[in-house]
Amino acid sequence: MLSETMPGFLKIEGLSKSFAPAKPVFADVNFTIAKGEFVCIIGHSGCGKTTILNVLAGLDTASSGHVFMDNRQLIGPSLERGVVFQSHALMPWLSVRKNIAFAVESRWPEWNKAQVTEQVEKHVAMVGLSAAIDKKPAQLSGGMKQRVGIARAFAIQPKMLLLDEPFGALDALTRGTIQEELMNIVRQTQQTVFMITHDVDEAILLADRILLMSNGAETDAGYVPGGMAEEVVNPLPRQRTRADLHHLDGYYELRNHIVDFLVKRAKAH
């Protein structure tokens, strides 16, 4: 949980993005993420969530504002940030082992083959795919491919993990299993995570803090850009599971608050 005494590991200051003059998608977005914190961002399509994540990943640029990580301004992509998208982005001609080894060798070009193999096998085991390590993506289910993507992101030991709806295309059962795995791995590694989701329960399960984002819209007073509407600290105990989530005191109040925001307040009026 973020506190006033905890320095910001990631700082976003005055971020805005415009595709059309005088009509920024979002404007003046400011937030901080502490080291080891898991933050989810929720909002309707078009509010700019993915743009913010892509700016953090170095895959897009903001129209104005700055992003700092570890007191250094972020410019361009870096292996210090691991990214997992909704589509797994695996190289189809390479096995699971070689897909992850490619990333590991890029991160540590000085490593010998034994070091690379150890790192790859450790992270494949972490997501429960040791039996499929020499299979190619075409031989894997959608859930297994996403596990490979997660293993690859963790294997390069990034300072920060960026997740863009990584479970959005999975069936509910697979999604639930991988959510729990991700949560366990994040707890083990103390990884800092920024994640986009449309799933309120997913955010409540995983996040220490949930950022609620509003859409830009035309109003009687003129155009109002989207932006950060509210930050919600998750009051539920951190050692929560999917099975006990809806039994926890405060769960329904938190869920209703977020759903109410999405239904009534996420779009400018």
Find the farthest-apart pair of alpha carbons in the chain and give their distance in angstroms, rounded: 65
Share of the chain above pLDDT 90, in %: 62
- Identify the pLDDT of residue 177: 85
pLDDT, one tens digit per residue, over 133-181 is: 999 999 999 889 988 998 999 999 999 999 999 888 788 888 888 888 8
- Identify the pLDDT of residue 225: 86
Does the pLDDT value for residue 34 go beyond 90? yes
CA distance 144 to 139: 9
Going from the N-terminus, what domains does the chain have, and what CATH number goes with each? 1-77+159-167+191-269 (3.40.50.300), 81-157 (no CATH)
pLDDT, one tens digit per residue, over 205-250 is: 999 999 999 988 888 888 888 899 999 999 999 889 888 999 999 9
- Identify the pLDDT of residue 173: 83
What is the C-alpha end-to-end distance of the chain, expressed in Å? 32
Q: In DSSP terms, which residues pair with 32 in a beta bridge?
A: 11
CA distances from 260 to 212, 252, 255 (A): 11, 12, 8
pLDDT band at 201 (very low <50, low <70, confident <90, very high): very high
**3-class SS at 212?**
strand
SS3 content of the chain, % helix, strand, coil (to 5): 35, 30, 35
In the structure, how many helices (H) and strands (E) does the chain have? 7, 12
pLDDT band at 19 (very low <50, low <70, confident <90, very high): confident
Compute the mean pLDDT over every residue in the chain, rounded to the nearest whole number. Answer: 89
Task: Specify whether the CB–CB gap between 253 and 234 falls below 8 A.
Answer: no
pLDDT, one tens digit per residue, over 64-119 is: 999 999 989 988 888 899 998 887 789 999 999 999 999 999 999 999 999 999 99
- Identify the pLDDT of residue 127: 87
Share of the chain above pLDDT 70, in %: 96
